[in-house]
């Protein structure tokens, strides 16, 4: 595993930012870490980058404890954060020139391709770049040395759609060659490249699984009745976001199984005319689960 967190906790005084967090990021994956603001995503990433120390537990990157990361390992880790600091008075070209000697695997051809793809002006000072251009610059600094892992903390936050598309195009070009761990609220943009997901809530991991498994077990279900539908008196705990519109009952089934669904629907009052179960986009899965966690707790 490229990343391995084992029972990580982080306390700030009496506040528990992380509570026994454990997960693994497989090599070659694009691993999306999602959850509401304050869930612990940035704290997790800062621990992985050795920017802060965990209160308890072990965090490993590239087989090394994060507290012992050496220049050898750091030369294989790319990092991009929405609040990344860079020397403002330095030009784009000068800063890239400054970085090259620190990375033995730096690829000048890839650097040039990224500058062109991201439309970065080499002669411009970094402080003169817009927020979107600075994020492009951070990515242009993190990719040319072909890192073994690329860690991204909310890289799309506050960006306009065009800049997001350009950043995602650069990431997709690199996907498969580099393991990616990404924290983002912009799930619609990252869904195409995501292979694994983990959902954090208030410092606790609710689940970790492949995107294929997650989308395989969650379905948006619509049940059409002959007469007016009603909310079931005793609904399955795995049915979330239950709604009734006329003769249609709709819900999100987080443990979808065609055979058991049919049996559960058969137990509802009324004559069923039609049942439709559709896959759910990653963003809609997130909003449904986040709402359920906030209101009542969600089944794992």
pTM over 0.85: yes
Distance separating alpha carbons of residues 184 and 282, to the nearest angstrom: 12
Predicted pLDDT of residue 184: 82
204 by DSSP, 3-state: which?
Answer: strand
| pLDDT (0 to 100) of residue 297 | 60
| pLDDT of res. 59 | 97
pLDDT digits (tens, 9 = 90+) for 67-125: 999 999 999 999 999 888 999 999 999 999 999 999 999 999 999 999 998 999 999 99
In the numeric block, the tokens 């691993």 are attached to: 31
Spacing of C-alpha 120 from chain mean position: 26
18: exposed, middle or buried (Cβ count in 10 Å: 0-12, 13-18, 19+): buried
Q: Which residues of the chain have pLDDT under 50?
A: none
pLDDT at 3: 96
Judged by DSSP in three states, 272 sits in strand
Beta-strand ranges (E) seen in the chain are: 3-12, 15-25, 30-34, 56-61, 64-65, 77-81, 149-153, 179-183, 196-201, 204-210, 219-225, 239-245, 248-253, 272-279
Domain spanning 3-209 has what CATH number? 3.40.50.300
Residue 187: C-alpha distances to residues 29, 108, 157, 209, 265 (Å)? 16, 32, 11, 16, 31
DSSP 106-124: --HHHHHHHHHHTT--TTS
- 173 and 165 Cβ atoms separated by less than 8 Å: no
pLDDT at 223: 92
Question: Which tokens sit at 83?
Answer: 């609040």
Position 196 scores a pLDDT of 95
Sign, CA torsion 132/138/144/148: negative
Predicted confidence at residue 236, as pLDDT, reads 82
Candidates 217, 227, 216; CA nearest to 268 is 227
């Amino acid at each position: 595993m490229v990343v391995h967190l084992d029972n990580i906790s982080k306390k700030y005084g009496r506040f528990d930012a992380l509570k026994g967090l454990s997960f693994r990021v497989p090599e070659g994956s694009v691993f999306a870490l999602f959850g509401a603001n304050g869930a612990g995503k940035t704290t997790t990433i800062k621990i992985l980058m050795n920017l802060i120390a965990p209160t308890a537990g072990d965090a490993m990157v590239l087989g090394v404890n994060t507290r012992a990361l050496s220049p050898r390992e750091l030369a294989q880790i790319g990092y991009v954060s929405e609040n990344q600091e860079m020397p403002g008075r330095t030009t784009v070209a000068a800063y890239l020139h400054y970085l090259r000697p620190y990375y033995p695997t730096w690829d000048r051809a890839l650097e040039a391709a990224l500058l062109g793809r991201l439309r970065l002006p080499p002669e411009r000072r970094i402080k003169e770049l817009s927020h979107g251009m600075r994020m492009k610059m951070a990515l242009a600094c993190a990719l040319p040395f072909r890192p073994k892992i690329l860690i991204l903390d909310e890289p799309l936050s506050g960006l306009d759609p065009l800049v997001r598309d350009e950043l995602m195009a650069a990431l997709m070009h690199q996907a498969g060659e580099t393991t990616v761990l990404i924290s983002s609220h912009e799930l619609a943009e990252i869904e195409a490249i995501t292979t694994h997901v983990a959902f954090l809530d208030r410092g606790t991991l609710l689940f970790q699984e492949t995107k294929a498994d997650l989308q395989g077990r969650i379905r948006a279900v619509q049940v059409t009745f002959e007469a007016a539908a009603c909310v079931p008196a005793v609904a399955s705990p795995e049915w979330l976001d239950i709604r009734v519109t006329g003769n249609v009952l709709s819900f999100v089934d987080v443990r979808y199984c065609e055979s058991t669904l049919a049996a559960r629907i058969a137990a509802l009052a009324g004559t069923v005319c039609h049942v439709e179960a559709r896959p759910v986009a990653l963003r809609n899965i997130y909003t449904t689960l986040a709402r359920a966690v906030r209101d009542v707790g969600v089944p794992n």
